[in-house]
């Protein structure tokens, strides 16, 4: 009995589930009372999914929606909420939120800026952010996966394969980033064969 490779819709479901898990893991520190902030700690705060705020606001460390430019926000809150917005397809809002981070060299923030720009069709801008993130942390395999996806969208199969090799060297072939990019490359190759 042979097992077929996962379909594109299954991959998207896996990616959505992975994004939900990532965001839920981020939500703990972001939504916990006093988490990530510099104030007095206090109560137990919950961990759970990040809940949306009205446009122009970001959920702070205590779980309150505040103006995105508020001095009460720390970079962890901006990152977690910006990642949530990007994964929710609210790319312009994600860019706005992430661009306000104080640490302009946080690879996680740079990566999601790249992701949001790429999803809006600004591939060169997105690739610039991925390159910047990787210059700071060459082992950041999520940025490598997203960069590989950008290369595929641009028809640069060899550059995508290069990123796949870099991911394999850093986390092996069993990590999610490797599997997702490998599947995207296989799908791209199959589409090329169908066209020829």
State the pTM of this model. Answer: 0.74
Please check whether residues 95 and 108 belong to one and the same domain. Answer: no
Please check whether residues 18 and 88 belong to one and the same domain. Answer: yes
Q: Which of 11-20, 21-30, 126-135 has the highest mean pLDDT?
A: 126-135
62 band by pLDDT with thresholds 50, 70 and 90: confident
172 band by pLDDT with thresholds 50, 70 and 90: very high
In a domain, 1, yes or no: no
In a domain, 41, yes or no: no
Please check whether residues 123 and 175 belong to one and the same domain. Answer: yes
In a domain, 66, yes or no: yes
In a domain, 18, yes or no: yes
In a domain, 165, yes or no: yes
Least confident among 10-14, 98-102, 140-144, 181-185: 10-14
Please state the rounded mean pLDDT for residues 43-58.
67
What pLDDT is attached to residue 48?
54
In a domain, 91, yes or no: yes
Please check whether residues 97 and 115 belong to one and the same domain. Answer: no
Please check whether residues 123 and 147 belong to one and the same domain. Answer: yes
Token pair, residue 23, equals 């965001």
Helix ranges (H only) for 48-175 are 75-87, 91-99, 107-119, 123-136, 141-153, 157-171
- Number of structural domains found in the chain: 2
Please check whether residues 115 and 98 belong to one and the same domain. Answer: no
C-alpha gyration radius of the chain? 18
What pLDDT is attached to residue 27?
42
Please check whether residues 111 and 79 belong to one and the same domain. Answer: no
In a domain, 4, yes or no: no
């Amino acid at each position: 009995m042979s097992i077929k490779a996962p379909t594109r819709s299954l991959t998207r479901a896996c990616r959505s589930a992975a994004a939900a898990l990532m965001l839920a893991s981020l939500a703990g520190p972001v939504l916990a009372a006093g988490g990530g902030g510099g104030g007095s700690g206090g109560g137990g705060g919950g961990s759970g999914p990040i809940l949306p705020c009205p446009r122009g606001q970001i959920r702070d460390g205590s779980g309150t929606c505040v103006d995105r430019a508020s001095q009460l926000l720390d970079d962890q809150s901006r990152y977690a909420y910006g990642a949530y917005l990007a994964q929710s397809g609210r790319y312009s809002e994600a860019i706005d939120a992430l661009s306000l981070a104080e640490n302009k060299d946080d690879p996680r923030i740079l990566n999601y800026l790249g992701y949001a720009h790429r999803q809006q069709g600004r591939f060169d801008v997105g690739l610039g952010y991925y390159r910047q993130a990787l210059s700071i942390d060459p082992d950041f395999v999520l940025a490598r996966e997203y960069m590989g996806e950008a290369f595929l969208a641009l028809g640069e199969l060899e550059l995508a394969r290069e990123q796949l090799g870099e991911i394999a060297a850093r986390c092996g072939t069993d990590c999610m980033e490797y599997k997702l990019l490998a599947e995207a490359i296989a799908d791209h190759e199959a589409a090329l064969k169908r066209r020829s």
